[in-house]
Amino acid sequence: MATSPAMKRKKQEHIAEHHGRKLLRFLEKKKESISPLLIVTHDYPDPDAIATAMTLQFIAERLHGIKSRIVYKGIIGRVENRAMVNLLKVPVHKFRPSDIRAYANAALIDTQPEFENNPYPRNKKVLLVIDQHPYVKRPLAELAIIDPDCGATSVILAQALLQSGLEIPKRIATALAYGILSDTLNLYRAHRSDIIQTYLDVLPLCDMRTLIRIQNPPKSKKFFSTLNRGLQGARAFRGVIVSHLGEVEHPDLVSEIADFLLTYKGMERSLCTGRYKDKLHVSLRSNRLTDETPEILRDIFDDRKEAGGHDMVAGGSFHVHGKDKDESRWKEVEATLVARLLKRLRLPAKADFYKPFQHEKSAAHFAAS
């Protein structure tokens, strides 16, 4: 018997709620046997990863006395993310290799064992995986909660918290609300009714003044210098806008400026790169609902495992190899990415890119520069 659209929608309304119950049952079964627990986010954690990790820590400790430590690799660079950690007093710590030996149990949050964007050993089984990204290989974990349509991993933890019976602190509710908002583009990418309902359920519990301060923090001169460089270096062609930022203060700037460039009138996709240490960080954004943006980015990387994302958001990074990584080598790698993107999008290889934010109107063959 075929499922009607109404029945399908009704079922979807309870997906996040179901995942929340599953997590609570798992923690109830394990209790203190999994304490202490290492909670590992993806590298350069975003608000969704931070909110999810701190909520899991709160639920585990308050319900079952499970002690835990939240760790991440890289840096928390984006100014909004730093404001979130500081204002909400999020207990996050830099990952140390000794953490693997010190903690017998680990939970991977907003990432998976097979992904290249976390510091956990690929061949080591984890206790728990909670993520919103489609898996390439089923995670090696006692419990894996993967919901590619939930909009934000925070939705799953928010549902678990709402069903836990615990009194919800303002700082946790504020973190979850911001995690949901940031990963769904202010609910624009919320394709299920339970995502919006979950957000509405935690919103009244938030500290609204703090939420506004997180969303609108003061920004440094370096941010505006990078933004200016991104605008001056931007090139556009047939709805695609590309900018290479060169050296960046932190990788989060790459995704931030990719988001910003996509708002330019007439643009459907944005590609932004930035050099950080010996890696090239890449962000691809789209506003085309038919795009499979993560797949597009994977297709233009040498190693598909180094790129990922969901819906119309994708990102990744890779080492730039070579004996002498001079300017010409970096430019060669950046130009190769653009050429591959054009080919993947079936656009002319000799694209006449123009400079939308510069006065001169002469065309430039940007892909080959």
pLDDT above 90 for 323: no
Burial class (CB in 10 A: 0-12, 13-18, 19+), 11: exposed
pLDDT above 90 for 136: no
> Pick from 132, 105, 146, 122: which is nearest to 46 by CA?
132
Residues 267-315 pLDDT 10s: 999 999 999 988 999 999 999 988 999 999 999 999 998 998 888 889 9
Supply the mean pLDDT for the chain.
91
Higher pLDDT, 188 or 26: 26
Domains and CATH numbers, the chain: 10-215 (3.90.1640.10), 221-368 (3.10.310.30)
**Contact between 110 and 244 (Cβ < 8 Å):** no
Q: 5 pLDDT band (50/70/90 cuts)?
A: very low
Burial class (CB in 10 A: 0-12, 13-18, 19+), 3: exposed
**What pLDDT does residue 351 have?**
87
Say what the pTM is.
0.85
**What pLDDT does residue 8 have?**
47
**What pLDDT does residue 6 have?**
47
Q: 325 pLDDT band (50/70/90 cuts)?
A: low
pLDDT above 80 for 159: yes
**What pLDDT does residue 369 have?**
54
The percentage of residues in the chain with a pLDDT greater than 70, rounded to a whole number, is 92
> Pick from 100, 103, 132: which is nearest to 16 by CA?
132
The contacts of residue 153 (CB under 8 Å, 6+ apart) are 48, 49, 52, 109, 110, 130, 131, 132, 179, 183
pLDDT above 60 for 360: no
Q: State mean pLDDT over 184-213.
A: 93
pLDDT above 70 for 9: no
Q: Chain centroid to CA 354: how far?
A: 30
